[in-house]
Amino acid sequence: MIATHTMPLEAATPAYICPFDQACSYLEAAAKELRLDQGVLEILSHPRKVVTVAIPVKLDNGEIRVLAGHRVQHSDILGPYKGGIRYHPAVTLREVSALAMLMTWKCALLGIPYGGAKGGIAIDPQHYSVGELERITRRYTSELIKDIGPSLDIPAPDMGTSAREMAWMMDTYSVNVGHAVPGVVTGKPLSVGGSLGREKATGRGTMIIVREALADQGKTLEGIRVVIQGFGNVGGAAAELLHQAGAKVIAVSTTTGGVYSPDGLDIPALKAYAAKNHHNLIDFPHTRAITNAELLTLPCDVLIPAALENQITEENVHQVQAQIIAEAANGPITLEANRVLEARGVTVLPDILANAGGVVVSYLEWVQGLSYLFWDEERVNRELESLMVQAYRQVIQQSKVRQVPLRLAAYTLGVGRVAQALNDRGLYP
């Protein structure tokens, strides 16, 4: 394993599967397959810059609270840093560092000229008012003002954030530099330079990868039984698009639990029900309530974890019945569980491929913003599909040539491209 004791990060508890250690393990496996120089591996295993800032905020009741905000910039070898901003109670510096590393390989795999970054604040946004969230976001942005920019580091929405937070970030940055800078973030509202197709991009990308994997098995989406953990921006979009394509989505869930119907769910009606009931799905007509743990073990053709990391572990992997698993979340399968699934012949579509649709359309939004020429949604979706299918085919070819599982194939492509660029650029000074 790559030594990580030099990282200025929190120590993981024994029972916790550390996302950063897991990311380093995949990096090490790819480096071994690629026979990378140890010095190159050492560079790639450490983020270039780790920033933690204090965020003092006055709550609506007058109380002053100081939060910690993180931004980790892993690599800019291929281009500006790129990565989401996450608001979630489980955010840690180690998690953010892992996600920044994954973004580096993801961008390289998709052929996008970005490096990886990630940011986050350990809060539950549901426990804060809109005004409090705005003050938190604006202060966080102002503290990072020298570390972000359209040619330096371009944040985007992630778990717990949305176009609303991106608009606040864009405005705060623009006010500080004295002119409008729409390219400083992506995932913005359309009114301030956002892109059509961005909201459903990650879910659409997942649907495309699942469709291609099924096609390689001689199947189509029509009638395929799909289970989705997560019914937010990613899982909800994937469910809607799969439903439209003829798939039978038989179960979905949120943090409060899920619903199951072996005959398939009415996804448009379920989305409307969730919107009216604060994202609660329980008691949706003609369904059975299930827990998130039960959902992962349902008999199905395709399982899509679209929530948090470490959901399929050595404790429940033997109960998983899906033949295809598409990682719409980052790191939802632990190392040991991944080995079990690969040994069983389960097709695992890795996160750096299956959930790359978001960064693809973020890139397309950035390109549109820089050129001040905006596209219709049909063109955005067409460009997204082209890049996703191309990356999928390259991963399949790499898997066959190297005779390795899809995850290792994807990592060898992503890591290999970054390593090649590093060698070509050289080491300064």
Return the sign of the alpha-carbon dihedral for residues 388, 219, 407, 258.
positive
Q: Catalytic: 49?
A: no
Please say whether the beta carbons of 115 and 417 come within 8 A: no
Please say whether the beta carbons of 28 and 41 come within 8 A: yes
Q: Which phi-psi region, left, alpha or beta, contains residue 282 (left: φ > 0; alpha: ψ -120 to 50)?
A: beta
Please say whether the beta carbons of 274 and 280 come within 8 A: yes
- The DSSP symbol for 401 reads H
Q: In what order do the strands lie in the sheet with 81-87?
A: 49-58, 64-73, 115-121, 81-87, 153-157
Amino acid present at 235: G
In sequence order, the 6+-apart residues with CB closer than 8 A to the CB of 257 are 281, 282, 289, 290, 291, 292
Tokens at 58, concatenated: 């006055």
Name the active-site residue from 82, 106, 118, 188.
118
DSSP E strand stretches across 59-195? 64-73, 81-87, 115-121, 153-157
Amino acid present at 91: V
- The Cα 11–Cα 372 span in angstroms is 45
The CA-CA-CA angle for residues 154, 159, 160, to 5°, reads 100
Of 103, 113, 49, nearest to 78 by C-alpha is: 113
Residues identified as active-site: 118
